[in-house]
Amino acid sequence: MSERVYRVVQYGLGPIGQELARLAIERPSFRLVGAIDIDPAKVGRDVGEVLGLGEPVGVVVRPDAEAVLAETRPDCVLHATGSFLDRVFPQLETAVRASCNVVSTCEELAFPAAGHPELASRLDELAREQGVTVLGTGVNPGYVMDTLPLFFSGVAQTVTAVQVQRIQNASTRRKPLQEKIGAGRTIEEFQQLVAAGSVRHVGLRESAYLIAAGLGWTVERYEERIEPVIAERRIVTEYFTVEPGRVCGVDQLGRAIVGGSERITLHLRMYLDADPAYDRVRLEGATPLELVIPGGLQGDRATTAIVLNAVPRVVEHPPGLVTMVDLPIITVRQ
Amino acid sequence: MSERVYRVVQYGLGPIGQELARLAIERPSFRLVGAIDIDPAKVGRDVGEVLGLGEPVGVVVRPDAEAVLAETRPDCVLHATGSFLDRVFPQLETAVRASCNVVSTCEELAFPAAGHPELASRLDELAREQGVTVLGTGVNPGYVMDTLPLFFSGVAQTVTAVQVQRIQNASTRRKPLQEKIGAGRTIEEFQQLVAAGSVRHVGLRESAYLIAAGLGWTVERYEERIEPVIAERRIVTEYFTVEPGRVCGVDQLGRAIVGGSERITLHLRMYLDADPAYDRVRLEGATPLELVIPGGLQGDRATTAIVLNAVPRVVEHPPGLVTMVDLPIITVRQ
């Protein structure tokens, strides 16, 4: 591998975006050359100040994406502003029109054809026209519930079904995530949040479709259900105290029907004080195969890692909108 | 992915080659169009008969590789004749000169530059001239002690050291493997076999170099030691009875020095009745990451799986001699 230094612009400075910027600053293989955010509390300030690094890094947060990209001409944009492709599409379009490669944490971009086939083909076309590559990735979707089982299937003679369990201990995660999973809510409040679409982990469907695509399967039907996990005892985290009987997290199950039967099962449980936490992949077949990550991959750290580690592969790849299955193996880039 | 059927020729009909041929016959994505072996006990017989399938498959084993390849013009050759690159080089050359892509189980081919940089560049040049792609793979080397830790590093922010442990229960393996690990020998006999180079697992060095290449590290020194595992009680397998105090397997440790310290540690223990058997990858860094395959990948099954599963990726890849790190993720191809 080359010892090239990749010039990156951070697009979005929420919790994940800040962590991405921090990593890009720390690592010798990357140079942060620009930062985009519309939050008035961040605009005009040095990224070092926003991140609390104790010293300026010479990059000021600006709201005008087009100008920042035209001036800095980065090798790649690290995009982390939202989960829904239709909402972030104009931002991705701006980056691609500026001839920038993009790695995005947008969950729906991990397999955009699942939810937005038309936007996906427009983005693909535009990326080819501009000669750049666009990838959506992260730990989930992007790795642990899709690319990892696909990679594991390489040593399988037959796979009849794929099952992934991800049990995350939300107590170790940041406050917005604990909020998002409904910590401290009543069951009724939780169900209202589900109905409003605000406690759902976005990306389970994308993982299922990515697995299917990687295995050459056609998803006939995809179903998802969300239930609360109820605290059995009092749980105290840095941010919340949850009494017994209240919600302490979310239990989400995604199922894809292929050839008339359930062949992809993705089970995500994120709740406070989950113990043991782990990620587990099981491939059914003549010889079932199992793989376990004890403790489970920590969501934010693993997501920021894979986004940055993906940059060299994305920059070197032929133009277009790609998924994790199209790229060579992504390795740590320090 | 396309629903293309890949026409393959099996080159070498030893235990692994036979299993590869069987898989290629079974799976709809492949068609076995030729078989090469020089063993007089196999030449002239139908592959179905050699494999004990109970019916002919219409492919006769022939010793003349050049003629078989010229007549069948396969998409890919499945090569499984030996571990050492210098010995199998003429065979690989024949396949490449016949404009055939090759996936080989030759252990040294998993990272040929480690032991045979000159042969590697000759093969690479020839492959490019002929417009074909050549890959060495298998479960080990090729997957569990190299590509898997590299793939896992994609979700790491930093990796300071890579440790892989592979504990295989040799009791579940075929007779030649049990023989190869020295089952039933005295310690003295074992040491003579080590000195003669006949109990060593070939490929640990290749795994270490493949990891280093994937992480952008330079191996300054590579060391390997081999010790016997001694039976503590009487062990009876399908093929051997081992008395206490006799050798029941091999303990092989490979260590790569990078930047002055040991940063890649590969520990392979293959012995009769190993319990628990497992594969474990550990990535050291700010956040250590661990991954476990309980029971461990069964060597022969996983090797034949990945060789066949690699065929579409190899056929579609630009020409040259490649390693597992160059290819997109290999998924099961049924």
Per-residue pLDDT reduced to its tens digit, A36-92: 999 999 999 999 999 999 999 999 999 999 999 999 999 999 999 999 999 999 999
Q: Is the pLDDT reported for residue A133 higher than 70? A: yes
* Residue B175, both tokens: 């007779």
Domain with CATH 3.40.50.720 in chain B: 6-139+301-322
The CA distance from B265 to B164, in Å, is 6
* Residue A124, both tokens: 């693909």
pLDDT at A197: 87
Does A104 contact B at CB distance below 8 Å?
A: no
Tell me the torsion sign for CA atoms B29, B31, B37, B43: positive
Q: Which residue from B212, B220, B258, B216 is spatially nearest to A29, judged by alpha carbons? A: B216
Contacts of B305 in chain A (CB under 8 A): 154-157
Distance in Å, alpha carbon of A194 to nearest chain B alpha carbon:
30
Q: Rounded to the nearest 5°, which phi and psi values hold at A102?
A: -135, 130
Residue of chain A minimizing CA distance to B138: A155
* Concatenated DSSP letters of B134-174: EEE--STTTTTTTHHHHHHHTT-S--SEEEEEEEEEGGGS-
Q: Which fold has domain A147-296?
A: Dihydrodipicolinate Reductase; domain 2 (3.30.360)
Distance in Å, alpha carbon of B190 to nearest chain A alpha carbon:
31
Does B326 contact A at CB distance below 8 Å?
A: yes
Domain with CATH 3.30.360 in chain B: 147-296
Contacts of B326 in chain A (CB under 8 A): 328
Q: 10 Å Cβ neighbour count for A205?
A: 22
Compare CB distances from B147 to A23, A139, A329 and report the shortest one's residue: A329
Contact B304 A157 (CB under 8 A): yes
- Asked whether B162 and B219 are in contact (CB, 8 A), the reply is no
Does A310 contact B at CB distance below 8 Å?
A: yes
Q: Which residue from A324, A217, A205 is spatially nearest to B332, judged by alpha carbons? A: A217
Evaluate if pTM is beyond 0.95.
yes
A contact residues 34-93, partner B, Cβ 8 Å cutoff? none
Contact A332 B3 (CB under 8 A): no
* Residue B291, both tokens: 């991954």
pLDDT at B1: 46
Contacts of A147 in chain B (CB under 8 A): 329
Bridge partner list, A242:
A235
Q: Rounded to the nearest 5°, which phi and psi values hold at B164?
A: -125, 130
Q: Rounded to the nearest 5°, which phi and psi values hold at B221?
A: -155, 145
Distance in Å, alpha carbon of B233 to nearest chain A alpha carbon:
30
DSSP B14: S
For the structural domain made of B6-139+301-322, what CATH number should be given?
3.40.50.720
CATH C-level class of A6-138+301-322: alpha beta
Q: Using the structure block, give the residue that is written with the tokens 């219409």.
A: B58
Compare CB distances from A302 to B155, B215, B301 and report the shortest one's residue: B155
Contact A330 B3 (CB under 8 A): no
- Asked whether A224 and A162 are in contact (CB, 8 A), the reply is no
Ramachandran sector of residue B260 (left: φ over 0; alpha: ψ -120 to 50; beta: rest): left
For residue A276, say if its preceding peptide bond is cis, omega within 30 degrees of 0: yes
Could you give the angle at the alpha carbon of B310 between the alpha carbons of B308 and B315, nearest 5°? Answer: 110
| Residue A28, burial from CB neighbour count under 10 angstroms (0-12, 13-18, 19+) | exposed
pLDDT at A1: 47
Cα A242 from chain centroid? Answer: 27
Contacts of B309 in chain A (CB under 8 A): 153-156
Q: Which residue from B147, B168, B163 is spatially nearest to B309, judged by alpha carbons? A: B147
Compare CB distances from A155 to B139, B153, B283 and report the shortest one's residue: B139
Contacts of B318 in chain A (CB under 8 A): none
* Residue A279, both tokens: 């990620």
Low-confidence residues in chain B, pLDDT < 70: 1-2
Q: Using the structure block, give the residue that is written with the tokens 């979700």.
A: B155
**Residue A2 vs residue B185, higher pLDDT:** B185
Does A333 contact B at CB distance below 8 Å?
A: yes
* Residue A206, both tokens: 């994308």
* Residue A5, both tokens: 């230094």
CA dihedral A151, A155, A157, A163 (to 10 degrees): -50
Contacts of A156 in chain B (CB under 8 A): 305, 309, 332
Contact A301 B310 (CB under 8 A): no
- Asked whether B333 and B309 are in contact (CB, 8 A), the reply is yes
Q: Which residues contact B41 (CB under 8 A, 6 or more apart)?
A: none
Buried b (16+ CB within 10 A) or exposed e, A46-68: bbbebbeeeeebebbbbeebeeb
Q: Secondary structure of chain A in the HEC alphabet?
A: CCCCCEEEEEECCCHHHHHHHHHHHHCCCEEEEEEECCCCCCCCCEHHHHCCCCCCCCCEEECCHHHHHHHHCCCEEEECCCCCHHHHHHHHHHHHHCCCEEEECCHHHHCCCCCCHHHHHHHHHHHHHHCCEEEECCCCCCCCCCHHHHHHHCCCCCCCEEEEEEEEEHHHCCHHHHHHCCCCCCHHHHHHHHHCCCCCCCCHHHHHHHHHHHHCCCCCEEEEEEEEEECCCCEECCCCEECCCCEEEEEEEEEEEECCEEEEEEEEEEECCCCCCEEEEEEECCCCEEEEEECCCCHHHHHHHHHHHHHHHHHHCCCEEECCCCCECCCCCC
Q: Which residue from B154, B290, B281 is spatially nearest to A294, judged by alpha carbons? A: B290
Mean pLDDT in chain A? 96
pLDDT at A160: 98
Contacts of B325 in chain A (CB under 8 A): 328-329, 331
Alpha carbon separation from A215 to A209, A282, B41, B313, B333 (Å, rounded): 10, 15, 39, 13, 7
Distance in Å, alpha carbon of B333 to nearest chain A alpha carbon:
7
pLDDT at A198: 86
Per-residue pLDDT reduced to its tens digit, A281-327: 999 999 999 999 999 999 899 999 999 999 999 999 999 999 999 99
Q: 10 Å Cβ neighbour count for B189?
A: 15
- Asked whether B137 and B105 are in contact (CB, 8 A), the reply is yes
Tell me the mean pLDDT in the region A238-251. Answer: 95
A contact residues 108-127, partner B, Cβ 8 Å cutoff? none
pLDDT at B3: 75
Contacts of B287 in chain A (CB under 8 A): 298, 301
Contacts of B304 in chain A (CB under 8 A): 157
pLDDT at A2: 52
Task: Give the rounded percent of residues in chain A with a pLDDT score beyond 70.
Answer: 99
Contact B154 A331 (CB under 8 A): yes
Q: Is the pLDDT reported for residue A176 higher than 90? A: no
pLDDT at B113: 96
Alpha carbon separation from A204 to A118, A147, B23, B142 (Å, rounded): 20, 13, 33, 30
Domain with CATH 3.40.50.720 in chain A: 6-138+301-322
Does B328 contact A at CB distance below 8 Å?
A: yes
CA dihedral B233, B236, B237, B243 (to 10 degrees): 60
